[in-house]
Structure 1
Amino acid sequence: MEIQYIWIALAVILLLLELWAINVVLRSTGKWETKGLWLVVLIVVPLFGLIAWAIFGPKREMPEHRRS
């Protein structure tokens, strides 16, 4: 496999993850200021924005049976 195909595959994966993260941000219940900030970060610096969003972004509530 040529190296170009690997880079193309990684770029497609990054693009799909970015679109998924943007969708989650837009559907979140946070304030529009927070959503806008996350959208700017995700779009301007895609890889680092995605990592920062995964670490510091909105957390999902755990189901009741897992909270022990």
Structure 2
Amino acid sequence: MLEISGLGGLIILILDIWALVSIVGSNRGTGSKVLWILLVLILPVVGFIIWLIAGPRSRR
């Protein structure tokens, strides 16, 4: 059971790092970036889900 929770934590960490890199590399304003970064860092799972739904915009 410990291996599963460790793997889950690793997956969440990787997804959060991906979100943070995407946020920093985006063309949004500094204030918006700071708020998204704080949200993802303070609430890793919930913040990532909210960012995934509301944050990234497609480049069409």
- Would you say same fold, with TM above 0.5? yes
Normalising by structure 2, what TM-score?
Answer: 0.96
Counting only pairs closer than 5 Å after superposition, residues 21-36 of structure 1 correspond to structure 2 as 21-36=19-34
Greater RCO (CA < 8 Å, at least 6 residues apart): 2
Structure 2, unpaired ranges of 5+: none
- 1:23-51, CA deviations, whole angstroms, 9 ceiling, x for partnerless residues? 00000000000000000000000000000
Larger Rg: 1
Normalising by structure 1, what TM-score?
Answer: 0.85
RMSD over equivalenced CA pairs, Å: 0.6
Distance in structure 2 (CA, Å) of the matches to 1:11 and 1:61: 30
In the TM superposition, residue 58 of structure 1 has moved relative to its aligned partner by 2.5
